[in-house]
């Protein structure tokens, strides 16, 4: 079974040499961005360069963030890229309702990932997550959402974050990854933000520079203490099925065992 991605590295679609470096940077998924990272006069070049790159299978999974579905470029993006051998997923910006997902799912067999970037998208999070079997995940686009809501303090986004996490899990999807940390020099801030995101229920994070990748992976992989506890729980459950208390007084039941199994599954990525 392929491990769930922890790192998603965004790279501008109009810079093929940078894309080539990103594919060797160690990210679980490389996301070629045709939207925010590409100026309007470079859209056609970015699309053509991306189509050329994805004409063949790639060494790591590659997703493409297409332009917003209501933009002048979205239809051409989908037409050029939707069935290429090197494409593993399409990331759809500014999804506001299930109809956006259904429209793209009808045009491509590729797995889809919806980015929720507005208050309306957050309000429809569960309906979007359930819209079509081709939808494999939802996530936040926090920069756009922050602007839409007028949020200044980071804590103001915690409710939308939790809303998206709950919607994804309620729909049977994997926990969403965190949105990007925009300051590529602030690795301490990135680590602290990842710890907060992990506590909320995110799993993994989008990055915009390779130096962010090891910080994200360390933050989301279990610590030695967490692994040790998980192993203790699994051993105790195997010896005595059912609810019980460990020698240190901690209570375990089926839910605790499931959490321990997830912890050990993540630890095997090392």
pLDDT tens by residue, 36-45: 999 999 999 9
Task: Give 270's pLDDT tier (boundaries 50, 70, 90).
Answer: low
- pLDDT at residue 240 greater than cutoff 90: no
Please tell me whether residue 29 adopts helix, strand or coil conformation: strand
- pLDDT at residue 21 greater than cutoff 80: yes
Residue 185 token pair: 């020099």
State in Å, rounded, how far the first CA of the chain is from the last one: 15
* Percentage with pLDDT > 90 across the chain: 79
Beta bridge partners of 89: 63
Window from 48-57, 124-133, 259-268 with minimum mean pLDDT: 259-268
Exposed/middle/buried for residue 95 (C-beta within 10 Å: 0-12, 13-18, 19+)? buried
- The larger pLDDT score, comparing residue 249 to residue 163, is at 163
Contacts of residues 254-259 at CB distance under 8 Å and 24 or more positions apart, as own/partner, are 257/233, 259/230
- pLDDT at residue 1 greater than cutoff 50: no
Query: What b/e string do you get for 105-143 counting C-beta neighbours within 10 Å, with b at 16 or more?
Result: beebebbbbbbbbbeebbebbbebbbbeebbebbbbbbe
Mean pLDDT (the chain) is 94
- Integer angstrom CA distances of residue 69 from 27, 95, 177, 226: 27, 8, 22, 42
- Integer angstrom CA distances of residue 199 from 47, 165, 169: 37, 11, 15
**What is the reported pLDDT for 233?**
85
Q: Report which secondary-structure segment, H or E, holds 119.
A: helix 119-123
Instruction: Identify how many contiguous H helices and E strands the chain contains and give both numbers.
Output: 12, 9
Please state the pTM of the whole predicted model.
0.92
By C-alpha distance, which of 37, 40, 91 is closest to 69? 91
Q: What Rg do the C-alpha atoms of the chain give, in angstroms?
A: 20
Task: Give 263's pLDDT tier (boundaries 50, 70, 90).
Answer: confident
Averaged pLDDT, 94-115: 96
pLDDT tens per residue, range 124-173: 999 999 999 999 999 999 999 999 999 989 999 999 999 999 999 999 99
pLDDT tens per residue, range 201-225: 999 999 999 999 999 999 999 988 9
pLDDT tens per residue, range 109-123: 999 999 999 999 999
- Integer angstrom CA distances of residue 249 from 32, 238, 252, 262: 49, 18, 10, 22
């Amino acid at each position: 079974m392929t491990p769930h991605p922890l790192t998603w590295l965004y790279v501008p679609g109009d810079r093929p040499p940078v894309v080539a470096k990103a594919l060797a940077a160690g990210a679980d998924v490389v996301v070629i961005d045709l939207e925010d990272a590409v100026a309007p006069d470079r859209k056609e070049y970015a699309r053509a360069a991306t189509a050329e790159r994805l004409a063949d299978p790639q060494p790591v999974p590659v997703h493409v963030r297409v332009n917003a579905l209501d933009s002048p470029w979205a239809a051409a993006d989908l037409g050029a890229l939707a069935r290429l051998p090197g494409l593993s997923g399409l990331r759809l910006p500014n999804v506001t309702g299930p109809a956006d997902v259904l429209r793209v799912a009808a045009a491509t067999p590729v797995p889809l990932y919806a980015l929720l970037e507005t208050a309306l998208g957050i309000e429809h999070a569960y309906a979007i997550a359930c819209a079509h079997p081709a939808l494999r995940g939802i996530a936040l686009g926090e920069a756009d959402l922050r602007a839409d809501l007028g949020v200044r303090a980071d804590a103001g986004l915690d409710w939308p974050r939790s809303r998206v996490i709950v919607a994804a899990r309620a729909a049977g999807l994997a926990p969403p990854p965190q949105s990007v940390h925009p300051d590529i020099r602030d690795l301490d801030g990135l680590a602290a933000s990842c710890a907060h995101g992990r506590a909320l229920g995110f799993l993994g994070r989008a990055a915009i520079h390779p130096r962010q990748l090891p910080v994200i992976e360390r933050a989301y992989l279990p610590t030695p203490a967490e692994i040790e506890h998980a192993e203790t729980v699994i051993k105790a459950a195997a010896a005595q099925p059912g609810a019980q208390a460990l020698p240190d007084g901690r209570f375990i039941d089926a839910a605790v065992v499931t959490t321990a199994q997830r912890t050990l599954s993540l630890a095997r990525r090392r």
